Structure 1
Amino acid sequence: MVSAPNPPLVSVDESRLKERAAEAMTTARTRTRALTDVVDDSDLVRQHSKLMSPLVWDLAHIGSQEELWLVRDVGGRQPLRPDIDDLYDAFQHPRADRPALPLLGPAEARAYVSEVRDKAFDVLAHAALTGRDLASNGFAFGMIAQHEQQHDETMLATHQLRVGDPVLSAPEPPPRGEDPEPDEVIVPGGRFTMGTSVEPWALDNERPAHEVDVDTFVIDAFPVTCGQFAAFIDAGGYDDPHWWTPDGWAYRGEHGIRAPRFWLADGDAWWRRRFGVIERVPDDEPVMHVSWHEAHAYAKWAGKRLPTEAEWEKAARWDPDTGASRRYPWGDADPGAEHANLGQRHLRPAPVGAYPAGASPLGVHQLIGDVWEWTASSFAGYPGFVAFPYREYSEVFFGTKYAVLRGGSFGTDAVACRATFRNWDFPIRRQIFAGFRCARDIAAGER
């Protein structure tokens, strides 16, 4: 096992760490149950799209990873189900092939994850959260809570692909605030600290903290909205190869893509299917279910570009008064309901301007939550990167095939979302809760 690349973290009261770990794991499990109990067994075992696993695979996979890392590794306990390790190894079986595997049925999967959880909590009660890097500051428990929440977001995306009557419900997000002004923000050039070496539960690809020099640039104060993206469609944006990369143009043509996924045209109006509900596309909500290729094409059409990952993080974290990098745009405090649309609290992005308390010091809004934001950067390790605790979490995905997304979505839980958190996916992906904002180089006389 590889050691973490960073120096020991500041000691935190162990009892509070254990409370935090238990809370995070319980929150994740409550959500997992809500997503799997709301449908019948036939829905759980069905593959709703070849892009996704059956929900019952995700459920048992959550238990399998918890058993491997918490029960066996941290706890040193005997294996519960070594016979299913290979079945729930995501690298051995592509999603499209998983329905054909001899998977645990719904009742057996639920019993398994429940038994694993009981043993994991017993490990937590007796483990020393010091010494080994995996146990230090409760990292392994935080990693497992994040892993479960990541699969919960994946299962939420499966629910969006599911055909049938609506089964999920949630209150509406807060309304739009005051008219957003200005619509762009200048981010001064210079060095800032990117990544982290001190966040206890940060994952390996967020580490280590390092200095990055970014030129002055301009970034949108808000994500691109559905109304703005509809203007791109109306202007023939999907019909003009000038705005697209060659790969994007070819993919658009091969798959007949004419609008964001789940959008439906009805005369001059756009409608969409959202978790089984057909509704008008709201003009003031961040656009969602667009690929990197669509985001790139829109940005070029608008005379802009996608921000690099470093630009996005500087806009989100850099405090011009202190020169320090914050944990979140609003400061170092954990996200509250007033800051961001996270945790499946709502089942849609909030209108732009809905979270003024979550703005960065420079006045950039909704960088956390609502929609994942595509960046111009490919996924790569930071200088000094060391894989931890296993290469398959990040390192095997490094390269130009994957584009980085930042900021989280309404379906991302706070435990798995920081201003340093990095997501990645193929540029063609449209089923994920992804949108974007634009950036541009600063023009002469704007400084």
Structure 2
Amino acid sequence: MTSTDHSRTDHSRTDHSRTDHNRTDRAGRDHSDHDSAGTGIDRDSGVEGIRDRVATQLARARQRSVALIDAVDDHDLVRQHSKLMSPLVWDLAHIGNQEELWLVRDVGGREPVRQDIDELYDAFKHARSARPELPLLGPAEARRYVGEVRDKVFDVLETSPLEGGRLLDGGFAFGMIVQHEQQHDETMLATHQLRVGPPVLDASPPPRGGPVGPAEVLVPGGPFTMGTSTEAWALDNERPAHQASTDPYFIDTTPVTNGAYAAFVDDGGYRDPRWWSDAGWAHVRKASLVAPRFWVREGDQWLRTAFGVTAPLEADQPVVHVCFYEAEAYAKWAGKRLPTEVEWEKAARFDPASGRSRRYPWGDEEPTGAHANLDQRHLSPAPVGAYPAGASPLGVHQLIGDVWEWTSSDFRGYGGFEVFPYAEYSQVFFGPDYKVLRGGSFGTDRSAVRSTFRNWDYPIRRQIFAGFRCARDASPEELA
């Protein structure tokens, strides 16, 4: 099944680029006090510990980029697999260009490597649909370019003080580039999903599911700490930490599964305007939607195509490739609603025993393979209940990894928001056009997700690895 989602300029979390190439005070030296708690950076290990972490994360990101690029031939690298996506070779050179701008030129103060290509790889100047017509670097040239840039970046890393300004403290600029590359790797993975042809990617299947307890849990009302002021590599839209409050509410223990969503489809959900908002119903009719993207009906069963492999739908896996409007309609059909962004973060972070907000649902330690389905270890969401060690104190499962989860909230800055280091990362997207997603997917790297991390996209988007869970208000009788 082919999506009719419309192409747009790259205003999404996974494709942001810096456009201000002539800023003064290049290293951002304002001597702000930045706490690096909660980044995997051990302050006791000092600058050398930060340097080692940065080097490891840069290498991990590049290993993944290379694997995604090397999986296909040059023809597949330069062609456009969907007007929603860039050619893979554009993503590769864009990764190198952003690394050059921020780390080689700004942090390192070095001479440009390829200043002549800056405009070609500026995501704000060229919509994805137009990029194949640009005089892009070819596959071999792009590989040489990103390799040359990376060599210079490691030289910069060896000599950078990693302190003395907001871009430097805690290795922020390097961490921003690590996250940028991993975000583009997820974008490239989505391009692989849209690619037509025999499978070229391989990964082990996710672990089996398990018991998860009740279908929903009650989250107590009251305040909690939302956002962060201490995560050294957190981006500006995650800041600052602030007190938020909710009424008591119920939230689903797991994301909505394929099996549950198929019941909505089979009940005529896509033919019944009762479940859809006016905007959602207009989109259903305009785009001729009948089921999640990549689903196809064969006889009495649903099949799903993932990375070139078509197989029967796995009923206990979270549904993926649904847009906001589909998530919203299912929730109404089920007698529920989507959680707000505040409700999602409270369910993911709040520990009622201590009253504090954790970095992750399971605690403050970095994600491992036991906690969550991240890092492209698998090529699908895992069955519900597959990661009991990753559950929150309230018993909510799989809030991190598997599928990005749509919330009902528009993307806006928190009170006290400050642009850093450039407005085009977040601020230009604030407003009602974009809906917030949370939690990451199986294609998200651990360096590019945390319980405060905020993703956003247009409500019609389905090529992203997005699903959802439902919430509902708690009645006075239930609270009694």
TM-score, with length taken from structure 2? 0.92
Check if 1:158 corresponds to 2:191.
yes
Look up the equivalent residue of 1:8 and give its one-letter code.
Answer: H
1:116-160 Cα distance to aligned partner (Å, 9 max, x none): 000001100100011110011000000000000000000000000
Please say if residues 216 and 442 of structure 1, whose CA atoms lie closer than 8 Å, have aligned partners that are also in contact. yes
> Following TM superposition, by how much is the alpha carbon of 1:181 offset from its aligned partner in structure 2, in angstroms?
1.5
Check if 1:132 corresponds to 2:165.
yes
Q: 1:352 aligns with which of 378, 384, 389?
A: 384
How far apart, in 1, do the equivalents of 2:89 and 2:278 lie?
Answer: 38
Q: 1:313 aligns with which of 345, 348, 352?
A: 345
Please say if residues 91 and 184 of structure 2, whose CA atoms lie closer than 8 Å, have aligned partners that are also in contact. yes
CA gap 1:235/1:51 in 2 versus in 1, 3 angstroms? same
Aligned to 1:90: 123
Please say if residues 47 and 162 of structure 2, whose CA atoms lie closer than 8 Å, have aligned partners that are also in contact. yes
Please say if residues 4 and 387 of structure 1, whose CA atoms lie closer than 8 Å, have aligned partners that are also in contact. no
Q: Describe how 1:188-203 pairs up with structure 2 within 5 A.
A: 188-203=220-235
Aligned to 2:263: 231
SS at match of 2:338: coil
Aligned to 1:295: 327
Q: Describe how 1:109-128 pairs up with structure 2 within 5 A.
A: 109-128=142-161
Aligned to 2:9: none
Q: Describe how 1:374-385 pairs up with structure 2 within 5 A.
A: 374-385=406-417
SS at match of 1:446: helix
Q: 1:337 aligns with which of 364, 369, 380?
A: 369
Aligned to 1:104: 137
SS at match of 1:44: helix
Please say if residues 437 and 454 of structure 2, whose CA atoms lie closer than 8 Å, have aligned partners that are also in contact. yes
How far apart, in 2, do the equivalents of 1:5 and 1:227 lie?
Answer: 53
How far apart, in 2, do the equivalents of 1:94 and 1:212 lie?
Answer: 37
Aligned to 1:145: 178
Segments of 5+ residues of structure 1 without an aligned counterpart are: none
How far apart, in 1, do the equivalents of 2:34 and 2:294 lie?
Answer: 47
Q: Describe how 1:159-178 pairs up with structure 2 within 5 A.
A: 159-178=192-211
Q: Describe how 1:138-287 pairs up with structure 2 within 5 A.
A: 138-178=171-211, 180-287=212-319
Q: 1:364 aligns with which of 391, 396, 405?
A: 396
Q: 1:48 aligns with which of 81, 95, 118?
A: 81
Aligned to 2:13: none
Q: 1:69 aligns with which of 75, 99, 102?
A: 102
Please say if residues 350 and 356 of structure 2, whose CA atoms lie closer than 8 Å, have aligned partners that are also in contact. yes
Segments of 5+ residues of structure 2 without an aligned counterpart are: 1-22, 37-42
SS at match of 1:445: helix
Look up the equivalent residue of 2:34 and give its one-letter code.
Answer: P
Aligned to 2:460: 428
Check if 1:31 corresponds to 2:64.
yes
Aligned to 1:60: 93
Look up the equivalent residue of 1:9 and give its one-letter code.
Answer: D
Please say if residues 409 and 435 of structure 2, whose CA atoms lie closer than 8 Å, have aligned partners that are also in contact. yes
TM-score, with length taken from structure 1? 0.98
1:323-364 Cα distance to aligned partner (Å, 9 max, x none): 110000000000000000000000000000000000000000
How far apart, in 2, do the equivalents of 1:268 and 1:397 lie?
Answer: 43
Look up the equivalent residue of 1:154 and give its one-letter code.
Answer: T
Runs of 4+ in 1 over 6 A off after TM superposition: 2-6
1:367-403 Cα distance to aligned partner (Å, 9 max, x none): 0000000000000001110111100000101000000
How far apart, in 1, do the equivalents of 2:157 and 2:29 lie?
Answer: 21
SS at match of 1:211: strand
Q: How many residues end up aligned between the 2 structures?
A: 446
Please say if residues 5 and 386 of structure 1, whose CA atoms lie closer than 8 Å, have aligned partners that are also in contact. no
SS at match of 1:35: helix
Please say if residues 309 and 377 of structure 1, whose CA atoms lie closer than 8 Å, have aligned partners that are also in contact. yes
1:74-129 Cα distance to aligned partner (Å, 9 max, x none): 00000010000000000000000000000000000000000000000110010001
Question: % of aligned pairs identical?
Answer: 67
> Following TM superposition, by how much is the alpha carbon of 1:5 offset from its aligned partner in structure 2, in angstroms?
12
Look up the equivalent residue of 2:90 and give its one-letter code.
Answer: W
How far apart, in 2, do the equivalents of 1:326 and 1:8 lie?
Answer: 19
> Following TM superposition, by how much is the alpha carbon of 1:446 offset from its aligned partner in structure 2, in angstroms?
1.2
Look up the equivalent residue of 2:233 and give its one-letter code.
Answer: W
Please say if residues 193 and 308 of structure 2, whose CA atoms lie closer than 8 Å, have aligned partners that are also in contact. yes
Look up the equivalent residue of 2:437 and give its one-letter code.
Answer: L
Look up the equivalent residue of 2:126 and give its one-letter code.
Answer: H
> Following TM superposition, by how much is the alpha carbon of 1:73 offset from its aligned partner in structure 2, in angstroms?
0.2
How far apart, in 2, do the equivalents of 1:293 and 1:117 lie?
Answer: 41
